[in-house]
Structure 1
């Protein structure tokens, strides 16, 4: 994912980026476009190049009446982009309706946003719509079958180029690679979200993703698409594949069933399938680092153990439940025998998934297996892995990390384990989450939007994971003191940010959201599929050092770019505007939490 689409990008003839003209006295108001629950902390950010000397009015759109007049509070934080910043707090307004904020003198206005109990109801279903766009094999969004010949194996116990059936799964992002690294997490995350909130998901499509209910929640239909692929990737108790295709994929944008990539058997034919050996791999000069397979085996085992419970109890399908249970046990054993991590492979480029953690995944697997089997050995092993993982595997207590180095971006094992251990160990697990929340809260206090993540590549993935961590910590401990912090992270994603844009495609409808996304369906078919979480802003220093980036149109957000972070709604910016499968799936629990 994210590897440079050299040929495509260099065909464009656009020159330098034009800077938009704007008034130095212009006042900008940033709110959550998707809206607020009545009980939410509701705080807008106001900024300008010059001091703001007026009150702001919250106006009910339907009646035209002023619901509240607010004196803005000056923020003493970093002045990103040379702007001065204020906050306007309208949390006391709980009456349902559509509202907008307006400067009393300047008449500067925010976009219209709702307040109401149903504001987030069903919004997680849009994220599932994007997941269906990413399906490999049969793709219901495009109504086509692609990559049916995946794949031919390398590094496995069988001879190189032996055919194995690894069709299915999800394309990773704007490219068409498939990784167990990300797919295992996406699958397990969706299953945990369902297990926590089984009554909040809808049934509008069948197992193939086609319109029409099938008696199964759509989130489970989507998770099963991942489960079926994980089972293919684990064809025998001692065998595991970890990746299909590599950066030979990056030959410009293409419709999946017309893939022009050639892995040695001709274009649109077989693709390389990499066997997990726990050792460094690579067909060319760029070798991965690897010390084991426990990260992949553990996450996959967690997903399958969750599935075994859900399909047994909720879907009354003991046969599939038994298959998942058996595979979870053998995968966990693989992780025990080969502790360590397997990274992604590249072919001709230096970029890959750099995951270096694994104890968190084994904790999650052992906790889910204990809940599924009641075997106390899993419980004791889960506790040991929890201590081994601690907070050391988390980006939340660090100022930076390399690409996917500390993945997944939240240790779901702590929450999975919390409900089955004694009170003292529960406090230990709560403390691991709390350490990360407090560290990110300190970072958040240094910027005007109160965002707690470092702006490394895929900052939005970090942000939704941080929001999820606060939610899970609250459920574990009952401690609600971080609710305002949680809402600030959520609100950033839907427009309370320098650019005033949502970070999810077509959310909300009629709002400001990513359009010129780095995906083939948009570039070639002009399709705008809702629910895709884009990578998000990156440090300006990172953006300036990435190869092959070139904006293809004038930057509509030019006046809001700053010395700290940049974001572009532009096909040419693969670093900030490419929607990702795992980032989207990793947002589902957060969105479902707010859908109450």
Structure 2
């Protein structure tokens, strides 16, 4: 009997120790691994299977010394399952610069290290450009190779099918090697607007080919010009606009770009289909896209060209290229006016495509930028009309869900572009559009412990960076600072304040928990870890578990952290959550420039006679041309 009692006591003691150990090991601390600016709202999140009653210490890494004791504040928002206890740790009042980490006072659980200071975000806007250079088609400086020189052969429209057109260049869209004007036009225009807002944040360390050699032009403009030159090719004539090169016949496994095994009827690694926008449904295979016009593509391509014309004239003193972009902007916008409606992406053998079905927002943006460029009142009146037509009907921010890329771009930058040109009453209308979207997402955010306001549809990280940009621009427009805490929470999610404790950018921060097994060929086949790429991000489990062809290559390292609500997996087999995208990365540039440091040295001195802060690198540049030489600029076919 005594032996039985001892055995029972041992079992009880062992079980107690196991439960205590489980409780301790089930405490997770989540922080922004990149860090916090001194005046930021600074919050970490703690979650556990059981109640946490111990304080948490803020520890200075340099000497392992506690500098602040924090009391966990219980989150009352509905949890996502798995973990029933969530706590906020607020250390906003602490502003001393340095490297720190959080540690529970008794059990010793610690967070990742992070920075506090003005340099927390460094110059990582430049890091994002590193990823953009990796996505280049044509000459790829990351791989030092030339690919897809035979893009492409036309389908649909006025040209006979299979007519050769030179559409080389541009960017590969994501881990695959398709090229879309849908995403390329937005990426280009977003980069140009970001430069206009933050010219002092961008350095010159690479030349136009993306090689590590300065050329007197900020690198963000070199990258934007890669997109501009491709858009010029896509708009080969005033009545012509290509919208896509290649389709899902591309999806034949991982491949090096200059050894593309896809076959569009001319053999492997040869010509690829080039789709001419017609404003009507298209599709060479089983699945047809929907289309009602061209204005979505024409409008934002016009915005990109109008922005470029101003920048290349005022900042770079290149009147030749400025004139070329001006003519293209006018021509593209005219095409949009003549064919109002939207063109979607095309698929061939799978049901997945870019389902954009909005266009008034793009025409608003194009008209606003053209008014800024030309001063013609008709553009201003048209921009205002398109703004009212778009309102928030085109925005995902006031919706609970959307189809893949249905309401694209994920931010209406036309509202911001128009704002400076209108009277106070119309300014309030535009500010109200942004504010309504922010308020709607904030109400959604109050329903979860991470306070994240986006619906977790495909490319949720793109929605998040767009929401952050919308808050930044809203504050610039209105002066209203009430959303700074909400903004910080959205940003911090992207760098580790999330269930998985991971950054959503490859290589950021260096040495942190970051996406590693990403769904892209250069990683799988060459082992290249290119930093700066924004991955798609978590999606609803109800979407994730019904996707075709999604198979993990390795056991899920985050299996113990997953829940029934949203899923993220760092695995090359998960194309839905762990594939970095070109337009998502470009769309994060405004956010990164906003928080990042200034360039160490502006690449171009100030123009004596120009409105912009940059000028030619030297006085003998051919950019400064006479009126006579300006007349020698090439025209678009049929423009004379």
The TM-score, its normalising length taken from structure 1, stands at 0.96
The residue number in structure 2 matching 1:132 is: 133
Q: How far 1:565 moved relative to its partner? A: 0.3
Deviations 1:198-253 (A, max 9, x none): 01101110000001111110000000000000000001111100000001000100
The residue number in structure 2 matching 1:141 is: 142
The residue number in structure 1 matching 2:160 is: 159
* 2:373 maps to 1:375: no
The residue number in structure 2 matching 1:400 is: 401
The residue number in structure 1 matching 2:206 is: 205
Mapped partners of 2:393, 2:33: distance in 1: 36
The residue number in structure 2 matching 1:58 is: 58
Q: Would the aligned equivalents of 1:135 and 1:171 in 2 still touch at CA under 8 Å?
A: yes
Mapped partners of 1:111, 1:351: distance in 2: 37
Mapped partners of 1:63, 1:252: distance in 2: 49
The residue number in structure 2 matching 1:428 is: 429
Q: Would the aligned equivalents of 1:59 and 1:68 in 2 still touch at CA under 8 Å?
A: yes
The residue number in structure 2 matching 1:253 is: 254
Deviations 1:437-460 (A, max 9, x none): 000000111111111000000000
The residue number in structure 2 matching 1:243 is: 244
The residue number in structure 2 matching 1:71 is: 71
Mapped partners of 2:369, 2:79: distance in 1: 46
Mapped partners of 1:112, 1:197: distance in 2: 29
Q: Give the 3-state SS of the residue equivalent to 2:126 in structure 1.
A: helix
Mapped partners of 2:566, 2:282: distance in 1: 34
Q: Would the aligned equivalents of 2:247 and 2:346 in 1 still touch at CA under 8 Å?
A: yes
The residue number in structure 2 matching 1:27 is: 27
Q: How far 1:560 moved relative to its partner? A: 0.8
The residue number in structure 1 matching 2:272 is: 271
Q: Give the 3-state SS of the residue equivalent to 1:322 in structure 2.
A: helix
Q: Would the aligned equivalents of 2:30 and 2:496 in 1 still touch at CA under 8 Å?
A: yes
Q: How far 1:25 moved relative to its partner? A: 4.9
- Pairs within 5 Å for 1:383-394: 383-394=384-395
Q: How far 1:22 moved relative to its partner? A: 6.8
Question: Alpha carbon RMSD of aligned pairs, Å?
Answer: 0.9
Q: Would the aligned equivalents of 2:228 and 2:305 in 1 still touch at CA under 8 Å?
A: yes
The residue number in structure 2 matching 1:580 is: 581
Q: Would the aligned equivalents of 1:539 and 1:565 in 2 still touch at CA under 8 Å?
A: yes
* 2:169 maps to 1:168: yes
Mapped partners of 2:487, 2:122: distance in 1: 18
- Pairs within 5 Å for 1:502-581: 502-581=503-582
Structure with the greater alpha carbon radius of gyration: 2
Q: Give the 3-state SS of the residue equivalent to 1:57 in structure 2.
A: strand
Deviations 1:428-476 (A, max 9, x none): 0000000000000001111111110000000000000000000000000
Q: Give the 3-state SS of the residue equivalent to 1:80 in structure 2.
A: coil
Cα distance change of structure 1 residues 250 and 22 upon mapping to structure 2, 3 Å threshold = farther
Deviations 1:96-139 (A, max 9, x none): 00000000001100011000001113111110000000000000
Mapped partners of 1:311, 1:511: distance in 2: 38
The residue number in structure 2 matching 1:115 is: 116
The residue number in structure 2 matching 1:46 is: 46
The residue number in structure 1 matching 2:618 is: none
Q: Would the aligned equivalents of 1:233 and 1:241 in 2 still touch at CA under 8 Å?
A: yes
The residue number in structure 1 matching 2:621 is: none
The residue number in structure 1 matching 2:196 is: 195
The residue number in structure 1 matching 2:636 is: none
Q: How far 1:395 moved relative to its partner? A: 0.2
The residue number in structure 2 matching 1:409 is: 410
Q: Give the 3-state SS of the residue equivalent to 2:151 in structure 1.
A: coil
Q: Give the 3-state SS of the residue equivalent to 1:272 in structure 2.
A: strand
Q: Give the 3-state SS of the residue equivalent to 2:35 in structure 1.
A: coil
Mapped partners of 2:126, 2:568: distance in 1: 26
Q: Would the aligned equivalents of 2:72 and 2:88 in 1 still touch at CA under 8 Å?
A: yes
Q: Give the 3-state SS of the residue equivalent to 2:81 in structure 1.
A: helix
Mapped partners of 1:301, 1:25: distance in 2: 55
Q: Would the aligned equivalents of 1:22 and 1:559 in 2 still touch at CA under 8 Å?
A: no
The residue number in structure 2 matching 1:5 is: none
The residue number in structure 2 matching 1:9 is: none
Mapped partners of 2:263, 2:299: distance in 1: 32
Q: Give the 3-state SS of the residue equivalent to 1:157 in structure 2.
A: coil
Mapped partners of 2:319, 2:484: distance in 1: 40
The residue number in structure 1 matching 2:441 is: 440
Q: How far 1:24 moved relative to its partner? A: 7.0
Q: Would the aligned equivalents of 1:394 and 1:409 in 2 still touch at CA under 8 Å?
A: yes
Mapped partners of 1:130, 1:284: distance in 2: 32
